[in-house]
Structure formats: C-alpha cells, structure tokens
C-alpha cells in the first residue's frame, strides 16, 4: 500500500510479482487501488485493475476508488475505472457520489466524463445537496453550465430548503446566478427560514443583487422573522445596495415580526453612517415609528452609543419625549442600557427632552441613572438640566424613598454631596416615617461626614436617641482624627 501511496509503479509491480494481495485492506479498509487513485497515479491504477483489483471496493466510510480519483481530479484514473466497471452512482456514508467528489478538485473534465457515462446529475447527499449546488457554492461557472445543460434541476432543494441559486448568490458569483436564472431558477424561492436568493445576494454581491431585482425578484419578500431584503442590506451593506432595492420598490417602512422598521435594523450595524439616516428620512422613512414594545428609532439608536446618530435623528424630527409601552422615554432607555454620556443628555435636553418625565411606575430618568449606578458626571448633568432631586417613584418596593436616602444607603458620600448641593430635602420622610438621617448606618465609615453634611443643612429626626447616638459617633470620630 505504501508503494501505491507514493505512486511508485516499479515498487507496485515488484510487490505484485511476489504475490502481494491487490485487494488487501488496512484497518480503515483502504485498498491499494484507493491509494493509487487519491495519489493520482494512473499507471499504478491500470496495473492493479489488470491484476484483478476490485474497482467497486469500499472503505469503512463506503468511499470507492472512483470517488477518490475524482476527488484528486485525476481524469485518467476516472476514465480507466469507469471503463472497467466502476459504479458511477455509488454513494458513501454521507450520500456523496463520485460526481460530488469531483467538486473537491473542481475538475470539469471529471464532471463531463462522469455525466457522459451515466452519473445522476440530480443525486443528492445526506444533506440534500446536489452536484449543482456544490458547483454553485464553489462558483464554477463551467461546471454549472455543463450540469444545467445535462438536466440538473435548478430548483432542487437541500434539507434546509436552499436552492442552487441561493448558494450562487451567497458565493457572490454573478455568472452562476445569471446561468441559473436563464435556466429557470426561481428568484423568489425560500429556504426553511424563509430567506430568498436576494437576501443571500445582499450579503456578498451588489451585481447579483441588481441582477435578481432586474429579473423580477420580490424586493419586499419577508423571511420567517418578517425581515425584508432591505433590512438585511441595512445591517451590513453600503448605501448603494439600499438605493438599488428602493429603486425596485422596497418599502422603507416595512416592519418585521417584532415591529422593527428598516431604519431600526440599520442601527444593528456599527458601521452606520449619518448619510444613510438622512437618505431614509428624505425617502419617507418614519423617524418616529415604534416597534411592538413601543421603542422608537431614537431609542434603538442609543444601542450604537454614537452621538452623531442621535443628533441626526433629532434634526430630522425624532420625538425626544416619545414613550415605549412601559412609559420609558428616550432618556430613561439610554440610562437603562448604560449607553449615556453627558453629551447625549445635553443633546436631548437642547431638543426639549423632559428630564422629569415618569414611566408607568413613576420613575424618572434620574432614578434610572442612580439605579444603574451611572457616572457622577451623568447624574450631575441631569440635575443641571433641571432633574428634580426630590422626586419619588411612589412604589411599594421603594417605600417612597428619595434619591438622597438611597445614596446614604449605598454609603456614597459623593452622591450625597451631589444631591445636597442640589438642595435635596434633608427632612423628607418615606412611607415608614424615616428621614434621610434614619438611613445613616452607624457602621458606615463615612457616617460622621455624612452626618455633619445633613445636620448643617438642618436635618432633624424625632428619634432623639438615634440622633444622640449618631452625634456621639461623630464626636468620637472627630476626637480620634484629632489624636
């Protein structure tokens, strides 16, 4: 077998002359003939078959010598084996035939020879893939033309309902796409996910996209998720793709099953440019459309974190005070997804955003900022733009606490200073009758400083013992610090 692996005719002849078994198999059940074919050795192949080598023997994967000859692209071995009884339609454990194996070497000559000698051009492997699909996947125009001319079904489907045209479009081969459509390939076929050839073309080739739309592809077809070709184009392709689809009737306000519009899908791409937003606005896209959760385009824009998108949308009329189904505004949504900076707050405020708007639970943007532990700069910026530091959520779970009380609970003296500097009511009480001082934990290492800040501002507590205790802690801390 080693002699056959290396393609050494002399060694092979010498071994057979000394009665070497031409049909012997190794542990993988490979025969000497199989090794001759995979190493593209026609001389050894002829010698062994003349000595009785079984041309239809199979290894442990049911692969035959003919499949290996085609895989290596050896036309001479392929011709010899078929002329000596090799089964051209035998299939291996994966259902692949010799014709399919020929694609591994992209050998047009082997394809032509096999089809002329009875190979089934429409045979499919265990995944449902045909030889034509493999040819389209590799972008081999000559093979595609040969197979279509010899009866290959251009609309055959694999196990995922993909057609040869979808694979040609995915590989970006315009020539294969043209050939298939000229032979009657369905330009609106759908795979199991509802995806059309046009949707595949968008991911790889502008030329294929234009060809399909020029030949009747439905620019508004939807996949199972309700997405259109234009939505696919917005995620990853340039403006030219979008313009091409729009020129062929693509709906710029189409929605998927979640109610998301084309423009919302555009923000899934981190390579989005403002020119694209402007183009949509100029071509009738609804800037204030809402998805099924009530989220607007502006809310989706915050997923990209880019200020220029926010500015562009607001300049084109995006409603900065729109609310989703939970009553959340753009400002709240931005804090909720941790994508807000001071520049964003300033932009929204300058365009009229209500910093004190409340959601369905009575929460304000400031509460969202504090709950998500946003930066002190963002919180300070909100306050500077008029956020009410004494607002309460009126929630049972929150016990009607103020943000000052919550800041004390979190033991954050920086936050306490921000709220007290903004004139937070130090004597406000929660639903349990507790004031800010009541939230000052005696184990807080900054208790004395916080206590001093609150009392200087007039904080009072009817619980005299607690106040006295806190005062004692503060005095002891001061004495300890002076020592």
Question: In terms of C-beta density within 10 A (0-12 exposed, 13-18 middle, 19 or more buried), how is residue 167 classed?
Answer: buried
**Percentage of residues of the chain with pLDDT beyond 90:** 61
The DSSP call for residue 391 is: -
Tell me if 447 sits within 8 A of 472, measured CB to CB: no
Please give the backbone phi and psi of residue 367, each rounded to the nearest 5 degrees, phi first: -65, -40
pLDDT band at residue 392 using 50, 70 and 90 as cut-offs: confident
Distance CA 208, CA 233 (A): 13
Q: Flag the least confident range among 71-85, 169-183, 297-311.
A: 297-311
Mean residue pLDDT of the chain comes to 88
Look at residue 144 and give its three-state secondary structure.
helix
pLDDT-based confidence at residue 483 (cuts at 50, 70, 90): very low
Check if the beta carbon of residue 176 is closer than 8 Å to that of residue 207.
no
- Asked whether residue 8 carries a pLDDT value surpassing 90, the answer given is no
The pTM score is 0.83
Q: Which domains does the chain have, with CATH numbers?
A: 1-120 (1.25.40.20), 389-483 (1.25.40.20)
396 falls in which pLDDT band (50, 70, 90)? low
The more confidently predicted of residues 379 and 91 is 91
DSSP per residue, 152-185: --TT---TT---HHHHHHHHT-HHHHHHHHHTT-
- Residue 471 pLDDT greater than 60, yes or no: no
């Amino acid at each position: 077998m080693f002699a056959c692996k290396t393609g050494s005719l002399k060694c092979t002849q010498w071994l057979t002359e000394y009665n070497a078994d031409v049909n012997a198999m190794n542990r993988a059940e490979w025969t000497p003939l199989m090794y001759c074919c995979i190493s593209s050795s026609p001389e050894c192949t002829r010698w062994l078959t003349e000595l009785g080598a079984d041309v239809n023997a199979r290894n442990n994967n049911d692969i035959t010598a003919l499949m290996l000859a085609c895989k290596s692209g050896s036309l001479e071995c392929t011709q010899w084996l078929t002329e000596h009884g090799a089964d051209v339609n035998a299939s291996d454990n994966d259902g692949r035939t010799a014709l399919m194996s020929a694609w591994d070497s992209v050998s047009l000559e082997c394809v032509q020879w096999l089809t002329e000698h009875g190979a089934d051009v429409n045979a499919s492997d265990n995944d449902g893939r045909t030889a034509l699909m493999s040819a389209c996947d590799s972008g081999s125009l000559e093979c595609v033309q040969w197979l279509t001319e010899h009866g290959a079904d251009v609309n055959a489907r694999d196990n995922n309902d993909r057609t040869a045209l979808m694979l040609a479009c995915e590989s970006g081969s315009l020539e294969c796409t043209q050939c298939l459509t000229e032979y009657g390939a369905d330009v609106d076929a759908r795979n199991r996910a509802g995806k059309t050839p046009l949707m595949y073309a968008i991911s790889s080739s502008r030329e294929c996209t234009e060809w399909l739309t020029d030949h009747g592809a439905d620019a508004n077809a939807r996949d199972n998720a309700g997405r259109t070709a234009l939505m696919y184009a917005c995620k990853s392709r340039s403006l030219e793709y979008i313009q091409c689809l729009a020129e062929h009737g693509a709906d710029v306000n189409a929605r998927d099953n979640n109610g998301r519009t084309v423009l919302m899908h555009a923000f899934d791409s981190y390579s989005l440019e403002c020119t694209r937003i402007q183009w949509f606005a100029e071509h009738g896209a609804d800037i204030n459309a809402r998805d099924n959760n009530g989220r607007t385009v502006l809310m989706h824009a915050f997923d990209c974190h880019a200020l220029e998108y926010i500015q562009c949308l607001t300049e084109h009329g995006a409603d900065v005070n729109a609310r989703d189904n939970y009553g959340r505004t753009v400002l709240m949504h931005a804090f909720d997804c941790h994508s807000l900076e001071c520049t964003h707050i300033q932009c929204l405020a300058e365009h009229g955003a209500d910093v004190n708007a409340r959601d369905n639970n009575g929460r304000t943007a400031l509460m969202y900022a504090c709950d998500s532990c946003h930066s002190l700069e963002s919180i300070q910026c909100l306050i500077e733009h008029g956020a009410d530091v004494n607002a309460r959520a009126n929630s049972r779970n929150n016990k009607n606490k103020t943000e000052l009380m919550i800041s004390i609970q979190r033991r954050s003296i920086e936050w306490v200073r921000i709220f007290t500097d903004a004139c937070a009511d130090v004597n406000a009480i929660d639903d349990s009758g507790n004031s800010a001082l009541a939230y000052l934990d005696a184990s807080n290492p900054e208790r004395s400083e916080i206590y001093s800040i609150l009392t200087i501002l007039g904080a009072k507590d009817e619980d005299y013992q607690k106040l006295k205790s806190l005062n004692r802690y503060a005095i002891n801390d001061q004495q300890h610090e002076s020592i």
